[in-house]
Amino acid sequence: MKTVFLAMSGGIDSSYAAYLLKKQGYRTVGFTFDLLPRSLRSESNRKMCCSAVNMNRAKRIADDLSIPHYVINMREEFERHVIGRFVEEYRAGRTPNPCVLCNRHIKFAWFLEKALALGADLVATGHYAAVEETEYGFELKKGRDRAKDQSYFLYPIRPADLPLLTFPLAQYTKSRVRCEFAGLAAGRTDVEESQDICFIPGNDYRRFIGQFIPVRKGPIIMIDGKQVGYHEGIHYYTVGQRRGINIPHGEALYVVEVRAEENVLVVGPKEFLKQDRLVADEVNLFAARQEGEARAKVRYRQKEEPCSYSIKDGVLEVVFRHPVSAITPGQSVVLYDGETVLGGGTIRQTAAGAS
């Protein structure tokens, strides 16, 4: 019997994943991560990870399923690799993706290594994605539920680690998981959806970032260089943002560029958001080929766009067939070949495709 260590947040997805793993005959062991420094905890936010509410909820689910459950302390690693990086990226005028950071450094690195050292055969999470063995080896695939597919967030997984992972919800839709879990947990009303940005109470970015980065006002300029106002601090803005600019103009203005070193915010009409290429670093590639044709998306909720890509000296360049709106430094670009994830990287630079 194989042993699977499962990351359990206390939410519906990981709870139902625990049920499926046990049903499939695995020796399942649940782990809830203790991630947040004490100063960032908020018991008033029930969806916030690492709250006592969520830890106790995960333990109760594990008890219901008669599987062992442990809490594992990862506060130092999480603060350094996720929270610290999150703040520094905003300080540099970029918009990071904390879920990608967590997957890269916590779930599929630190936890995976600890799990294997403690005797696990496999590590599982409640992500909607799949790992499949094909004629080309182990590949990361999209989950069956296209509306919920989370393969975008998983591209940092090291290729050699794919055989060590299993995603029990790969062939499930969210509606089916919710329905079947409700039947299994009849009378249990305390299991909720996990919060995406788990360490920010109430998703209040401005307040959270403001704890670390002092407000430094600066000029807002149009794309032609004309100053039209002042911003409240560049870390409060991201490419593609419309709200909060507050500049009277004949048409809607959007953040086109954030120049951190100059403390300048560049704005312009919507058409200036369109870009036709990008450069990314921190590249992780599953496919062997270093260049080719693919489809790519630059945000989780954006659609895939046809492109060509090439990798040289660890740098990924993507050229889109058609300009794409609001490509944002700090976010991730992920490459797909049909259902298969080819790899991805962290966006660093863009080049205009419209004028």
**CA separation for the pair 154, 127 (Å, rounded):** 9
229: left (phi over 0), alpha (psi -120 to 50) or beta: left
**CA separation for the pair 193, 41 (Å, rounded):** 18
Choose the catalytic residue: 49, 50, 99, 102.
Answer: 102
Q: What is the CA radius of gyration of the chain?
A: 21
Judge whether 198 counts as a catalytic residue. yes
Give the CB-side neighbour count of residue 102, counting CA atoms within 13 A.
Answer: 18
Choose the catalytic residue: 49, 50, 99, 198.
Answer: 198
In 3D space, the residue among 238, 164, 150, 151 whose CA is nearest the CA of residue 194 turns out to be 150
* Cα three-residue angle 158-161-163, rounded to 5 degrees: 140
Cα distances (Å, whole numbers) of residue 71 to 29, 128, 188, 239, 301 = 11, 23, 22, 38, 32
Catalytic center residues: 102, 198
